[in-house]
Amino acid sequence: MQKWIYSNKIIFCILLLFFFLFKNLNAAVIKEAAGKNGMVVSANALATEVGLEILKKGGNSIDAAVAVGFALAVTYPYAGNIGGGGFMVIHLKNGKNTTIDFREKAPLKATKNMFLDKNGNFNPKLSQEGTTSAGVPGTVAGLIYTLKKYGTMKLAEVIQPAINLAENGFLLDYATAESFKNTLHDFKRYPSSYKIFSNNGIPYRTGEIFKQEDLAKTLELIKDEGRDGFYKGKTAQLLIKQIQSLGGYITQKDLDEYEPVERKPVYGTYRGYKIVSMPPPSSGGIALVEMLNVLENFHFTQDEWGSSKYFHELAETMKFAFADRTKYLGDPDFYPVPEKGLLSKQYAESIYKKIGSKAIPAKEIKAGNPLKFQESMETTHYDVYDKDGNAVSVTTTINSAYGSKIVVDGAGFLLNNEMDDFSSKPGAPNQFGLLGSEANSIQPQKRMLSSMTPTIVLKNDKPFLIIGSPGGSTIITVVLQVIMNCIDFHMNIKEAIEAPRIHNQWLPDEIYAEPFGLSSDVRDNLIKMGYKFGKDRTLGLAEGIKIDQSDGIIFGSSDPRGNGLAKGF
C-alpha cells in the first residue's frame, strides 16, 4: 500500500511539473486577448501575468507598469533591466497626459572625443563593449518616481513578484534558453556574467529552472530602501567596483545626481486622432508626428495597402524624417531642438511637395529648414490599460541584447551600453547605422538620443491605441505603420501588428523589408522607382492595446515575431 502511494506521489509530481512546464512554454501562444477591466501586453508572459495580478488586486495602470518593469528585469534580461533606462507616456483618467524620461546619462567624466583613437577615428568597441560603454542607469529612479507620483500601491507590493521570480526561479522557455546559449561566448569574457547565464559552465536548456539570487538581494534592497537601495550603499558600491575594475567612468557622484525628468509630451494630430508621444531626448515622438503630418497629405484606399505606391510614399517620408533626426535632435537640456518647426503641418507639406513618383537618392536629401516654421528618439516595450481609463506606454532598454553583457558581480544585474547612442564623431554610424551631429554629441550628464517611441493615440480625448516597439532605429517606423494600419486601413490590433512592415532611415540608402513581406512584383516595381534593398530582416516586436470605447472592450496583442503575451480580464 505504501509503495502504491509513493508511486502515485511520484506520478503526481511528474504530471504537475509537466503542467507548469507546458503552461510556461505555451503561454506566449496567446497573441491576442480581450477584456473589460484591464489589459497588459509585454514581451514576456511571466511579466504580463505579474502586471495583470496587480490590476486584479485593485492597482491602477501605473502600479502594474512598475511591477511589469521590475519583473522584466528578472524574466527578460535580453532587454528588461534595472541597469538601463527608458521612457514612459501616461494618459490619466482625468485627461492629463505626461511623460517620464528615465533615460541614461553620460558620466561626469565623459568627454566629447572619448571614443576616438589617437588618429581621431571612431572606435566602436569603446562605445559598444565593456564598462566604457555604460551610461548612468535611470530605470530604478524612473519607476520609483512614477509610482510615488501616479501609483496607488506601495513599492513593496509591486516589486515583490519580481523578487519571488528571481529568488525562486522560473522555467526557461525555448527562446530564452536559446538566447542565453547563443550569447554565451560573449558572457564568457566576464566571469560575473558567465556564472549567471550558464549552468555551472554548461548552457541552460529549455525547461530548466533559472534562479538569480544576487538580483533578488538587489531587488530586496530597493524594496526596503527605495532608490537609495540602488544608488547608494551596497549596490552602488558593487556597481562602481565593477565599472572601475574594467576602466569605466561612473562614480558615486553620478549615481547621487541622477534624476528622472517629467516632460511635456509631443503632440500631433492625424486624421482627427490625437497623438501623444515621447519628446526629446527621444527622437521617436517628433519623428513619428513629422511623418504622420507628411502622410496625412496622401489619401490611401483600403486596397492600396501593400502596394508599391503605398510603400514608396512611406519610404520617402521616412527618409526626410530621418535626415532631420540626424541634424536637429538631441537632449533638449543641452541643445535647442526646433520642436515646433519639426512638428509643423506647414513644414510637413513642404516635404510632401518634394515626393514624386520616383525614389529620391539619399545623397540628394538634406535636413530641411524647420526653423522658419518655429512660430506656428535592444529594447522592450509594454502597455497597460485599466478599467478607469489610465493608459501607460513604456519602452525600456539596455541598448544591445543584454546591454554591455556585463553583470555587476554580487548585484546580479546587467549594465547598459547606451553610450553608443551618442554621436561620437559626425558621419560615423552607431550600431544601428544611425548618424548624428553636434545636437547629439557627448557631454557630461547629457542624455543620449533615442529612437524609443512609446505612444498613446486618443480618439475624442479617450485612449484609442497604446503602442510601442523595440528595434533601434526601426522603432519609429514600426509604430508609424501600426498606427496607420489601425486608422487608415481599419485593422484590428492583431492584424495591425502582424502585418508586414518596411523601414527606411535615409542612410544607408536602402529599404529593409521582412522575410515574405513583399511580393516579387511589388519589390520589382520599387526597384524600377529607384530603390535599393538591404537584407530582409524582422522589423520590431510591437506590443499594443486598442480600446473600443463605445462597447468598453479592451483588445491587446503581442507581436507574433516575439514570445510575449497579451492578457486581459
Catalytic residue ranges: 379
Which segments of 244-363 are extended strands (E)? 261-263, 266-270, 273-277
Which among 96, 60, 79, 29 has a CA at the least distance from the CA of 396? 79
Q: Which cell is 526 given? A: 520599387
Distance CA 350, CA 242 (A): 51
Look up cell 523589408; give the residue.
513
Distance CA 267, CA 261 (A): 18
Q: Which cell is 519 given? A: 511580393
Residues 6 or more apart from 144 whose CB is under 8 A from it? 66, 155, 222, 226, 227
Vertex 562: Cα angle to 557 and 567 (nearest 5): 30
Which among 397, 126, 451 has a CA at the least distance from the CA of 278? 451
CA dihedral over 290, 294, 296, 299, signed as positive or negative: negative
SS3 219: helix
Q: Which cell is 419 given? A: 553610450
Burial class (CB in 10 A: 0-12, 13-18, 19+), 545: buried
Beta carbons of 88 and 421 less than 8 angstroms apart: no
Beta carbons of 153 and 191 less than 8 angstroms apart: no
Beta carbons of 557 and 494 less than 8 angstroms apart: yes
Residue 131 one-letter amino acid? T
- Give residue 430's region: left, alpha or beta (phi > 0; psi -120 to 50): beta
Beta carbons of 235 and 229 less than 8 angstroms apart: yes
H/E segment holding residue 313: helix 308-328
Helix axis angle for 139-150 and 61-75, nearest 10°, is: 160
